[in-house]
Amino acid sequence: MRILSIGNSFSIDAHGYLHALAEQRGVDLSTDNLAIGGCSLQMHWENVVQGKSNYLYIINGDVWKSECASIEEVLTSEHFDVVTLQQVSHFSGLYETYQPYLNDLATYVRKHQPDARLYFHKTWAYEIDSTHSEFPLYDCNQKKMYEALCSASRLACSAIDAIAIPSGDVIQSLRERVPAFDYANGGESLCCDGFHMSHTYGRYAVALTWLATLTGKRVEPLPFMELDLGIITQICDIVNEIVFAK
């Protein structure tokens, strides 16, 4: 399975461990990521219209191509089984910022990759004490941001007939249900800076969510890096519960 994400730093987070976790489980999966930090759906579409070659091109989470690439170049020269789209994090709960750019991008992707399945990456809310400059859009309230992005993501998936990758649901559930991640009461934050995922459990949980969603297979707890196997087991349980909810 070959995956292309048209994203930003949050797709970099998602891809960080995805290839490694797939390889660990014997899944033949490769990831291509076209990313610009802070890039919104509007910016992606404007880059298509203007033919800009200004994307970082990252393969399997850790191989960074030296040259910049364009969306058109990659979509017309390679074959993908899956293409993912996402909104920039600070607009994730504001559906009015999605359109018409999301529909335009989806149409463009399907034109050049008619056999690819389209997914929408549902990202996560910021940490409760995040200093992100746009957190005030949600009154600096994590729960409010999460609820808003849930609503916007549902509309997005319906508009372009895409399958949701529920990263935001998994992260919020871990925060609320696993004591180790109860940040308000001394637990570990799943963010490294208040909005990007930590390079330990944050990226791990998101990558597992992608793997389960894209393969349709439940994830089992296996040792990874120096992460605690007990916590890994709790993450796997929540990922499976959310991804395979009936």
**How high is the pLDDT of residue 246?**
61
Q: Judge contact between 146 and 153, C-beta under 8 A.
A: no
Q: Is 133 exposed, middle or buried (0-12, 13-18, 19+ CB in 10 A)?
A: exposed
**Could you report the per-residue pLDDT of 155-175, keeping only the tens digit for each?**
999 999 999 999 999 999 999
The third-level CATH classification (topology) of the domain covering 2-243 is Rossmann fold (3.40.50)
Place of tokens 């994830």: 219
Q: What is the pLDDT along the chain (246 residues), one digit of tens a residue?
A: 999 999 999 999 999 999 999 999 999 999 999 999 999 999 999 999 999 999 999 999 987 776 789 999 999 999 999 999 999 999 999 999 999 999 999 999 999 999 999 999 999 999 999 999 999 999 999 999 999 999 999 999 999 999 999 999 999 999 999 999 999 999 999 999 999 999 999 999 999 999 999 999 999 999 999 999 999 999 999 999 999 996
Residue 105 structure tokens: 């991008």
Identify which of 173, 237, 210 has the alpha carbon closest to the alpha carbon of residue 16: 210
Q: What is the DSSP string of 148-191?
A: HHHHHHHHHHHHHT-EEE-HHHHHHHHHHH-GGG-GGGT---SB
Averaged pLDDT score across all residues of the chain: 97
